[in-house]
Structure 1
Amino acid sequence: MSDQRGADVAAPGRPAPPRRLARIGLPTLTAVLAAYLVVSQLIVVVPVSWVMPLLRSAIIQSALLLLGAVRDAMGSWNVILAVVTTGLALVALRRSAAGRRVAGTVTGVAAVGLVLSVATSAALVCAARDAAGAWIAFAPAVPFSTVGDAPDETVTYATIDGQPIQADLYLPVRGSTPAPLVVSIHGGAFVGGSRGTNAYTTWLADNGYAVLDVDYRLSDDADHRWDTADADVACALTWATTNAQRYNLDLHRLAAFGNSAGGNLAINVANKINAGVLRPSCGSAADLPRVGAVIALYPVVDLTASGTETAIGSDAARQYVGGTPEQYPDRYTATDSAPHITDQSPPTLLVQGANDHLVLAEHTAAYAAALDAAGIPHRYVEFPFLDHAFGTTELDAGAQVTRLLTRAWLAEYLA
């Protein structure tokens, strides 16, 4: 009589049988998922100040930001994944004989991941309700899916030093009156990124706003664009003024919208234009329209601090400015946002993740305090357990609530 256990033993040189692979694969898969859940949740539960020494390493900081981006893009699906992982862990525990201790540990880790996922998701739902007055119970509908349509037109708004600079136009249905314009400015630490459809471009057009999504010259080790990036955005606005009638644009109702480095440019361009001190890299300063409102997501408002605190921030600042704050204090002052606040600064909406591992929330909050001291209408909204770059292309909870906040802000200040 043959021994049934022998069916699970592979002969030398032959692949392992399916049952053995299943016994190995299920615990391994469960362990990986459980580890992801716990680590990705812990990095937003633990205060950023506790891990600041780790952010001095570009590898560790990149890993934390990647985990944060995946977790934020997954959104409520983290809870579903945690439930499935805990269920798989329990199945593995029941089936395991020799490795019950390991299986039990994995089950415990999965359970911790489930508890953390539920807690952070619930806190974010409540924060969204407090900020925008709407319940966003489950988001995104599909994780990692981009939203928005292609632009209606791509234009070359300038050619500077032989380099063409382009922008995308997203246009609302043409009406009897010109449409207000939102200039959208991408992030990328001043050294990367480009214009492109995101969670707001098509949505804004569907809500009656024209969108000019602009590129600008980027920095590198040879070219430091600290004194031209905002001028390029201003250049795009002179193009908009010249072409306002053609595209049915109302330049008397203009808003600036940006995230991360783009948030810095949105704020600085608006403050400088309204103060009359910004000179565009093309066109005339006389053609610059006044900015009526700003929406900035996790903006780099304090490059002097952000450019020294972390490895990625320091490298980006060095390429953008050309050196350290000690070497070029005047350049850093020129790129920081608070020094450009005047009584002409526009109403500003600031949206920030509390656990941002690149642009620390404390700096954005400090800029909000500076606006308050200057008597500028503003709102600072800080969401718990969100990291850098949430809500860019995916319609996650951060993007959904930012849409609601943006709609209200524009309705109030571009009316």
Structure 2
Amino acid sequence: MRNDLEGSATTGTAPPAPGRGTTDRTRSRGALVGRIARGALLVAVLVLVLFLLLGQLLAVLPVSWWSPFLHVLPIEIPLLVVGIARDVLGSWSLLPAALALAAGVFSLRRRGRRRLPLALSAISATALLLALATTTVQVVSVHGATGQWFLFSPATPASAVGRGPDKTVTYATLGGERMKADLYLPEAASATAVPLVVSIHGGGFISGSRGPTVYTSWLADHGYAVLDVDYRLATATQHTWNTADADVGCALTWATAHAAEYGWDMDRVATFGGSAGGNLAVNVAYKANAGTLEPSCGAAGQLPQVKAAIAAYPVVDLSTSVGESAYGAESGDWYVGGDPARYPERYKAVDSANQISKDAPPTLILQGSRDHLVFADHTKAFADKLTTAGITHRYVELPFLDHAYDSVSAGIGTKATRALTLPWLQEYIGG
């Protein structure tokens, strides 16, 4: 009996040491938390890389391929946001793509499931290669257009919008609404009157407002006074197709009346705008010079002869643009009141080609080739009509850039626009 007990004691399982089970469970939970954290990190990086890849696909694939999606507003708006964000990042998109590729490759070396790291590596490698290709083409193309090299743009991923205005004024009260304008004035004192650039914001004629841009204070720093104006915006019930350009004309008559006060030379005036503001920059200049602009305040005789117009991604052919995207259709409904079939005369009044006359000023036009709101084909067609009419102009198409490529940062599109704008102004209004 004693031997049996001794044998049992010898061959039996020894009881666990105190605390060992708790330690094993803690290690197991720690390992589980680690796996969850790594998985969550990989998923987050994958989402980022998918965003980068979508941005590059928007850049390289023809705009027409995206047409079905552009007619659905909840899809069109995110696509536009991705395109604009890609242009804001500029060359910096190479960095997260490269880091994501490194993370994917590193994860492949670990044990466990490999599908997610493999997908991450493949997608990030594709995004990185596309970003390298588009960046290289942009740098070479912009050098060809400007003679300058912009190898890494923006210099930092931070915003590069300039300082605020030196003064804000009310230039008129129209329809019970106080219309304001921001003044950006050159710092250096001048013995002679300085040229004036009228800046006109975009927003599809239904949104947006005056405010600092990547050009306003930059122009002032280069010796140009800037009048950044508001105008009445359209709503679902208030259609401003016949007042928007008149309001900018009103601001011009105010400028004429106050030119001596601020030291502006009204014989050296240029208009500048993007998107809807580009349409107004062209139309106001062309109509003012042709004598067909009726300002909503002041007198037509107070309107200056505009010596230069600069338009970035301008809505020069609204009649066509309203049928190409959901946002375009909404802008047309609010701004004009309906589609071109219903209001052909109204669209005739806002389409820029119809405003061309022998008195049209020299016009600089800049356009992103992958604009998913204002298609480059229409802008190029407008430039061709300027050629036919014998109007001095320059059309520059910037590869792979989307709408509003210069919205918040000094990326390569902004730098190209600046590099082309300054000599254009110097040639035609001096400064």
**Category of TM-score, reference length = shorter chain:** over 0.9
| 1:278 counterpart = 2:293 | yes
Match of 1:294 in 2: 309
Match of 1:189 in 2: 204
For structure 2, list consecutive stretches of 5 or more residues without a partner in the other structure.
Answer: 1-15
Quickly say closer, same or farther: Cα 1:8–1:62, change in 2 above 3 A.
farther
Alignment of 1:258-407 (within 5 A): 258-407=273-422
Q: 1:118-164: CA deviations, max 9, x gaps?
A: 11111111111011110001111222414211101000000112210
Q: Report how far residue 262 of structure 1 moved.
A: 0.2
Q: Distance in 2 between matches of 1:5 and 1:72?
A: 51
Q: 1:75-115: CA deviations, max 9, x gaps?
A: 110011111111111122222x3311331122111111110
SS of 2:323's partner is helix
Quickly say closer, same or farther: Cα 1:197–1:150, change in 2 above 3 A.
same
Quickly say closer, same or farther: Cα 1:98–1:20, change in 2 above 3 A.
closer
Q: Which segment drifts farther, 208-217 or 125-134?
A: 125-134
Q: Of 194, 202, 205, which residue of structure 2 is paired with 1:179?
A: 194
Letter in 2 for 1:140: P
8 Å Cα contact 1:8-1:20 kept in structure 2: no
Q: Distance in 2 between matches of 1:374 and 1:68?
A: 34
- Higher Cα Rg: structure 1 or 2? 2
Match of 2:165 in 1: 151
8 Å Cα contact 1:357-1:388 kept in structure 2: yes
For structure 1, list consecutive stretches of 5 or more residues without a partner in the other structure.
Answer: none
Letter in 2 for 1:301: V
Q: Distance in 2 between matches of 1:411 and 1:8?
A: 71
Q: Distance in 1 between matches of 2:137 and 2:24?
A: 50
8 Å Cα contact 2:367-2:376 kept in structure 1: yes
8 Å Cα contact 2:88-2:408 kept in structure 1: no
Match of 2:269 in 1: 254
Q: Distance in 2 between matches of 1:334 and 1:224?
A: 13
Q: 1:322-363: CA deviations, max 9, x gaps?
A: 011010000001000001100000100000000000000001
Quickly say closer, same or farther: Cα 1:6–1:127, change in 2 above 3 A.
farther
Q: Distance in 1 between matches of 2:288 and 2:248?
A: 11
Q: Distance in 2 between matches of 1:356 and 1:16?
A: 48
Match of 2:5 in 1: none
Q: 1:283-340: CA deviations, max 9, x gaps?
A: 0000000000011000000000011111000001110000110100000010000011
Q: Report how far residue 18 of structure 1 moved.
A: 4.5
Under a length normalisation based on structure 1, what TM-score does the superposition of the two structures give? 0.96
| 1:414 counterpart = 2:424 | no
Q: Of 90, 97, 108, which residue of structure 1 is paired with 2:105?
A: 90
SS of 2:233's partner is coil
Q: Report how far residue 6 of structure 1 moved.
A: 4.9
Q: Report how far residue 5 of structure 1 moved.
A: 7.6
Moved over 3 A (4+): 1-10, 15-18
Match of 2:240 in 1: 225
Q: 1:3-59: CA deviations, max 9, x gaps?
A: 98854543xxxx986523332123212211221121110111110011112111111
Letter in 2 for 1:365: K
| 1:140 counterpart = 2:154 | yes
Q: Distance in 2 between matches of 1:169 and 1:57?
A: 39
Match of 2:222 in 1: 207
Q: CA RMSD in A?
A: 1.5
8 Å Cα contact 1:26-1:92 kept in structure 2: no
Q: Distance in 2 between matches of 1:336 and 1:68?
A: 26
Letter in 1 for 2:185: L
Letter in 2 for 1:80: L
8 Å Cα contact 2:46-2:120 kept in structure 1: yes
SS of 1:309's partner is coil
SS of 2:360's partner is coil
Match of 2:249 in 1: 234
